[in-house]
Each structure stands twice: as structure tokens, then as C-alpha cells.
Amino acid sequence: MTEPVVVCARCRAMAARQPLTWSTMLDRDGGLLLVCDSCTRAHLRAMEAQLDEEFW
């Protein structure tokens, strides 16, 4: 049986399961994306800079 693996939607970092420091966000199709802690911080900075969502 394969261990469940989560993958960061941005940098493709992988973890055996979702770490508490990772966050979730919705993609344009309403699907759930996981974002690792470092990308979450980068994303928050991007949001503060009001970059277009297409940046993702």
C-alpha cells in the first residue's frame, strides 16, 4: 500500500502527509491545493503586493 503523499502546488515539495505548517487554497476549478510553509509565506507576500492571480 502506498503512503499518501501531499505535494506543494507551487514548488512540488512532497511530504508524507500534510504538515500543520502547510496551508490549503482553492484552485480556479474549486479543487483543493496544498501549499508548503515557505510557499505560503511567499504567497502572502505576493498577495500583499497584489500580484495578479495568474502569477500562480
Residue 1 or residue 47: which is nearer to Zn ion going by CB? Answer: 47
**Interface with Zn ion (CB under 5 A):** 8, 10-11, 13, 36, 39
Tell me the one-letter amino acid at 21.
T
To Zn ion, the closest distance from the beta carbon of 30 in angstroms equals: 21
Residue 1 or residue 49: which is nearer to Zn ion going by CB? Answer: 49
Residue whose C-alpha is closest to residue 27's, from 39, 50, 10: 10
To Zn ion, the closest distance from the beta carbon of 1 in angstroms equals: 26
Cα gap 30→50, rounded to integer Å: 21
